[in-house]
Chains A and B, each alone.
Chain A
């Protein structure tokens, strides 16, 4: 294994000291939501005990400290994804809201009847349903880049979908939350741009787990969620300044306005135009702390650690009789393994694993069309983050052997 000191990382996550059903907790569901490091929890406490007040309004000390810390988090997030400027970072409730923001504002203004919206078969519902509904509202065509049997995107099919120039947007994930597949994002963006299409990148899985550089990718929009990277629930939308400035607002109210008259309003500048109402202030400041924590670990090192874990997991999981893994080989994926077993329904797998303190997700993981493509109604999914270690995978495999012993007919 790498020189990664996983025990030192684990010591930063108080929840990992807990036991479940008398067993040490083995948390393998970070893809759904990640646990929080001490520094994030401590930041929340500090905001509320040291200087909490509303942002962007008061002239008193607390208000200024809150605003400074809130806008400081925006700077940190911008640096983290290599955005050219912090004003292009919009805080939302979560990645889902960020994607809806794009579909409802940019989409409403730029998609018309007969236009093509391109998504992929591996999208999370949050990067599918907003586009599906936009297509229905506009009479636009929704087209899917197919997923190959091995769990990768069929780029030839994408080229065909782009060939006639009807495609106006390509919305795709940087990393599948089921298959773990890391998509060739830079190439997809290049192909889309050559065809004149705008790109919307779902970074909910990628941003917490690997280095993401919006300028190197030449992306137009990127959405992700703080709660999957150790922060409380805050979402982020990054977009190019020119695009954000041209878009109408999403939600209306306080803070997003420059000037209001009885029958007329003018909008604030970006990013505030898209942040109506009081935001989750302490949570956003804590997102900044989570970004600092990950930056301290180094995103390249985080990715490397998870690749080693996923390679070990795939090797060990195949020791379990009647277990099948969805998706590509380990070197093409992040720290996610979805699988199904001949002997047990995913719900039973998850319930029996829980009795051993092992937390995995069961179901379709908000990716029903992807499961339909593989003809499996549901899977169990183990996912890894900075605090996971090979012993966690050993515990998973031991628990799965017990599932087999109990349920094999």
Chain B
């Protein structure tokens, strides 16, 4: 039997990711990779007038965990304020992925998209 990590919901996001592609005229445009496993992500996002996340899209290559996590994140964060997203961490990702507990080796994969988004938010703040 497949484990929690490879259950149908995550596999659906992996096989058919949501918001896959590059957002034109994006406020956030970040490329990030996982040196240890070669996962890559190109994340683009637009903020609304009040600084909330309006739309997120991503492109990338990686394992089921990183790609499914990115796909789910693009839905999860819409409408959230900057501070809310910056406050997110591993427990939020584990909850989003269905309440699974990630092994040490998969944490970086699962949080790749979140780290990209947070880096982008910090860059827009500084700009």
Contact = CB atoms under 8 A, between A and B. Distances in A.
Interface stretch (B24-32, B57-65, B73-81, B91-99): B57-65
Interface string B35-62: 1111110000000000000000000011
Interface string B86-120: 00000000000000000001100100000000000
A378 B38 contact: yes
B5 A351 contact: yes
A345 B63 contact: yes
A406 interface: yes
Contacts of A376: 38
A250 to B, nearest CB: 29
A362 B61 CA distance: 15
B14 A407 contact: yes
Interface residues of B, number: 21
Interface string A367-393: 010010000111000000000000000
Contacts of A345: 37, 39, 61-64
A378 B37 contact: yes
Given A378-B37, A378-B38, A406-B11, A347 B63 contact: yes
Contacts of B105: 347
B2 A406 contact: yes
A355 B1 CA distance: 8
Interface in A50-89: none
Contacts, number: 54
**Residue picked from B2, B15, B64, B65, most chain A C-beta under 10 Å:** B64
Nearest to B5: A351
Contacts of A344: 63
Interface residues on A, range: 10 to 19
Nearest to A347: B63
A248 B7 CA distance: 58
Contacts of A364: 36-38
Contacts of A409: 15
Contacts of A378: 37-38
A103 B5 CA distance: 44
B11 A347 contact: no
B37 A347 contact: yes
Nearest to A362: B37
A267 B38 CA distance: 46
Contacts of A346: 37, 63
A344 B66 CA distance: 12
A348 B2 CA distance: 12
Interface of A: 344-348, 351-352, 355, 362-364, 368, 371, 376-378, 406-407, 409
The 9 closest A-B pairs by CB, nearest first: A377-B38, A345-B63, A347-B63, A378-B38, A348-B63, A409-B15, A348-B64, A378-B37, A347-B37
